[in-house]
Structure 1
Amino acid sequence: MAVPRQLPNTITIVRILFAPVFLWMLLADGGADGPLRWWAAVLFVVAIATDGVDGWIARRYEIVTDLGKLLDPIADKVLTGAAFVGLSILGELPWWITIVVLIREVGITVYRLVVVSDHVLAAAWMGKLKTVAQAVALALALAPLWTVFGDWVFWVNGVTMTIAVLLTIASGIDYVVSEVRGRRTDART
């Protein structure tokens, strides 16, 4: 079966386009735990799952592109950033968490765009782990599971969000350290 060369990038762009729709659904009813909240959570999970799908297709059919390496992490940041901001707007997540995450995400993205003429900075293993942790924490925080399972869900949400934030900070430090080491190695050769 022939796979169109731009299919992974198209899926990535669709993920970016899902972000404002998801955010609207989350905020439209003021954070009520009704159907729009559930649908927002479902859309987020579907959208974030496409991250694995586009990457798998690109690797499986050997159609990995520099554009895809650049767009894929941006799409993740747009979607997860919208979720962090939306939860903070609703008062369900402290703004300081959202600010810390966004500073890391925007900082790494801007750096990637600055060095793109030198080399494409693909996601490292810790960055991928951070994205998975954020996806799980955000999915749990977005779905009003407390209406089904009770208030103990808030404790689970707190633990998963703490892990996601710690991995966000650690992966940001890892990127900086790796780039500094890489530049030093390049300077020596």
Structure 2
Amino acid sequence: MNIPNRITLSRICLIPIIVVLLSIPFDWGTISIGEGILPVSHLVAAILFIIASTTDWIDGYYARKHNLVTNLGKFLDPLADKLLVSAAFIALVELELAPAWIVTLIISREFAVTGLRLVAAGEGIVLAASQMGKLKTWIQIIAISALLLHNYPFSYIPFPFATIALYAAMIITVVSGVEYFVKNWHVMKESK
């Protein structure tokens, strides 16, 4: 297994650790942030989430630079992204830091686009990620990070950055999903 695929697997391996840190009420103390508090376990989960998110860029860059793009990598990389983002969003719903309806919309879009890609793959068509899709991923990562950090450092102002980022992520997720289907609807018409 090459280095980019190992980096991708490390991202997948971080997911259960992040979920455990967010799901189990560890008594590691809290940090006062403005008018609120940030549990240390959430801070650690946020740091691990940010590290895992950056590995997405690192593995792709390394694979392209050293010509190490593989079918396994093409499969694992988007899977790792969707698992990481979905797990974090679901944990945020459990913690009551994100509304379930927004998370449902975001995850539904991911399933729908994945389904379209599977149909296309069955027809021998490769559907590349769009610029809007890449922007969507980064806005989701920013929103999740801000929510995991309980809006730190914006909680000192106070400015609802995490909430704004979440709504921006929802909007760009829906818009990018619609754009993806409009551009690639021919795949559904052509499939047998």
- Range of TM-score over shorter length: 0.7 to 0.9
The structure that is helix-richer by fraction is 1
5 Å-filtered alignment, 1:28-47, equals: 28-29=24-25, 33-47=38-52
Taking structure 1 as the reference length, the TM-score comes to 0.85
Where does residue 8 of structure 1 map in the other structure?
Answer: 4
Q: How many angstroms apart in 2 are the aligned matches of 1:119 and 1:130?
A: 23
1:18 maps to 2:14: yes
* More divergent stretch after superposition (142-151 vs 39-48): 142-151
Aligned match for 2:147, one of 114, 136, 141: 141
Higher strand share: 2
Q: 2:174 is matched with which residue?
A: 169
2:34 corresponds to: none
On the 8 A contact 1:70/1:121 being kept in 2, the answer is no
Q: Percent identity?
A: 35
Matched AA of 1:142: L
Q: Distance in 2 between matches of 1:70 and 1:77?
A: 11
Given that residues 26 and 41 in structure 2 are in contact (C-alpha distance below 8 angstroms), is that contact kept between their aligned partners in structure 1? Answer: no
The runs of 4+ residues in structure 1 deviating greater than 6 Å are none
C-alpha offsets along residues 123-179 of structure 1, whole Å, 9 cap, x if unaligned?
Answer: 2211111000101111111113448843724x1111111111111111111211121
| TM-score, normalised with respect to structure 2 | 0.83
What amino acid sits opposite 1:17 in the alignment? C
- Correspondences of 1:1-189 after superposition (within 5 Å): 6-29=2-25, 33-117=38-122, 118-146=124-152, 149-150=155-156, 152-153=158-159, 155-181=160-186
| CA deviation after TM superposition for structure 1 residue 65, in Å | 2.4
Question: Residue deviations 1:99-137, cap 9 Å, x none?
Answer: 001100122123323432413333221111100010111
- What is the alpha-carbon distance in structure 1 between the residues aligned to residue 73 and residue 99 of structure 2? 32
1:123 and 1:70, CA in 2 relative to 1: closer, same or farther beyond 3 A?
Answer: farther
SS of corresponding position for 1:16: helix
Q: Are residues 140 and 147 of structure 1, via their aligned partners in 2, closer, same or farther at CA, if it must alter by over 3 Å?
A: closer
RMSD: 2.4
For structure 1, the residue ranges without an aligned partner over 5 or more in a row are none
Please give the secondary structure, in 2, of the residue aligned with 1:15: helix
- Count of aligned pairs between the two proteins: 181
Offset of 1:66 from its aligned partner? 3.3
Unaligned residue ranges in structure 2 (runs of 5+): 31-37
Q: 1: distance between equivalents of 2:7 and 2:138? A: 18
CA distance in 2, matches of 1:54, 1:41: 20
